[in-house]
A = this chain, B = another copy of it.
Amino acid sequence: MENFQFYSPTEFVFGKDAEMQTGRYIKKYGGTRVLLVYGGGSAVRSGLIARVKKSLAAEGIACTEMGGVKPNPRDDLVYAGIEKCRAEHLDFLLAVGGGSVIDTSKAIAAGVPYPGDFWDFYAGKADIGAALPVGTVLTIAAAGSEGSGDSVITKMEGGLKRGTGSDLLRPRFSIMNPALTCSLPAYQTACGATDIMAHVFERYFTNTTEVEITDRLCEAVLLTMIRETPRVIAQPDLYDARANIMWAGTVAHTNICGVGRAQDWNSHGIEHELSARYDCAHGAGLAVIMPAWMEFVCTHNVMRFAQMAVRVWGCEMDFAQPENTARAGIRCFRQFLHSIGMPINFAELGAKEEDIPKLVETFGIGDGRTGGFVALSADDIAEIYRIAAHAAL
């Protein structure tokens, strides 16, 4: 096991009607003038924004709204939010939504006290040294941004989708009412579930040996997702299954599933090129990329993939030919993704094989290699896109 630091100071308030406590928690964490960030109209139509605003008003908290955050959130709204916070002396970011809304809020929070361009943090040119406090009211189980210090933003110019991270961006509190997710369409639910599972797999496939506790925690989240996701696809308002998925999504990404080990994250990077280019859902892109990546790297550590197959997918171990088991596990994953309505190849996603050279170019690895479980060259990445393009059950 490697040395690590783990710090997850977010206060999670989980359960029915939890959003009624939003104002109380902003007050507890020192907010007095809030930028309320949200996405499309559904949070307004459902009455959620009104309930949140009512709870702010009850605590005497001033509130400026900024709606309109889109999936694969863009830098333009971040710049607008930073301006608003500075102009109106706002001191707290409240994100009501999913990963896109939360990531936008985090970017604004880091940008306000920074004299330069906030994109510096995403371009790897500067480290975050200060940030306004952020709180969240989560409406979809997916990104895990409610419990992480991470944020991913797309720069419109050049279509660059990049991430940054800092413990300073971890939300002070996250309000999590699983009932808010019961009205999500099946497709969005499945995209979220895929993202959650991907967050685990990015940590599960490691070259660090002897990290049994994090292996087992990873498997715990995956087993939960495998049980609960088909249940909510079949019956969207199954509260308990929604609750298990929502909390699993947080556990998947606070990094408690990743401490003490090297991690991968190549699948996320390879996917980001798809969602940046085709504006597809991140989870849908991951459903296409992640099993393809697994097939490409499987022989690097057959026993680790066999472990996944046996412990997570319930495959029987082929002791004579472990690679059979390893590959059976990957097939189970792809079949599972298909069963919950996810695309499994480029055609189903709306991506084009002829774009592969462009995807590889924007990925920007040049003549170098990535880090991670298997260090990938540009050719390797092209091959993973090709496997993804042609994947079948």
Interface bits A234-268 vs B (CB < 8 Å: 1, else 0): 00000111011001100100001001100000000
Q: Check A211–B244 contact: CB distance below 8 A.
A: yes
Q: Check B18–A14 contact: CB distance below 8 A.
A: no
Interface residues of A in 195-223 (CB under 8 A from B): 209-214, 216-217, 219-221, 223
CB distance from A25 to the nearest CB of B (A): 10
Known pairs A3-B18, A220-B219; A212 contacts B12 (CB<8 A) = no
Interface bits A1-40 vs B (CB < 8 Å: 1, else 0): 1111111111111111010000000000000000000000
* CA distance in complex: A256, B210 (Å): 22
- The answer to whether A377 has its CB under 8 Å from any CB of chain B is no
- The answer to whether A224 has its CB under 8 Å from any CB of chain B is yes
- The answer to whether A380 has its CB under 8 Å from any CB of chain B is no
Tally chain A residues at the interface, Cβ within 8 Å. Answer: 44
Known pairs A15-B2, A212-B227; A243 contacts B260 (CB<8 A) = yes
CB distance from A180 to the nearest CB of B (A): 14
- The answer to whether A228 has its CB under 8 Å from any CB of chain B is yes
Q: Check B210–A244 contact: CB distance below 8 A.
A: yes
Interface bits A119-135 vs B (CB < 8 Å: 1, else 0): 00000000000000000
* CA distance in complex: A224, B221 (Å): 15
Q: Check B247–A213 contact: CB distance below 8 A.
A: yes
* CA distance in complex: A210, B15 (Å): 14
Interface residues of A in 289-323 (CB under 8 A from B): none
CB distance from A228 to the nearest CB of B (A): 6
Q: Check A259–B221 contact: CB distance below 8 A.
A: no
Q: Check A5–B9 contact: CB distance below 8 A.
A: no
Residue in A2, A210, A211, A216 whose Cβ sees the most chain B Cβ within 10 Å: A216
Using Cβ atoms and an 8 Å threshold, which residues of chain B touch A214? Answer: 247
Known pairs A3-B16, A7-B12; A216 contacts B212 (CB<8 A) = no
Q: Check A256–B260 contact: CB distance below 8 A.
A: no
Choose from B14, B211, B251 the contact partner of A3 (Cβ within 8 Å). Answer: B14
A sample of 24 cross-chain residue pairs with beta-carbon separation below 8 angstroms, ordered by A number, consists of A1-B15, A1-B239, A2-B15, A3-B18, A4-B12, A5-B13, A5-B14, A6-B14, A7-B10, A8-B8, A8-B9, A14-B260, A210-B240, A210-B244, A212-B224, A212-B228, A212-B244, A213-B220, A216-B223, A217-B217, A219-B220, A243-B260, A247-B260, A251-B256
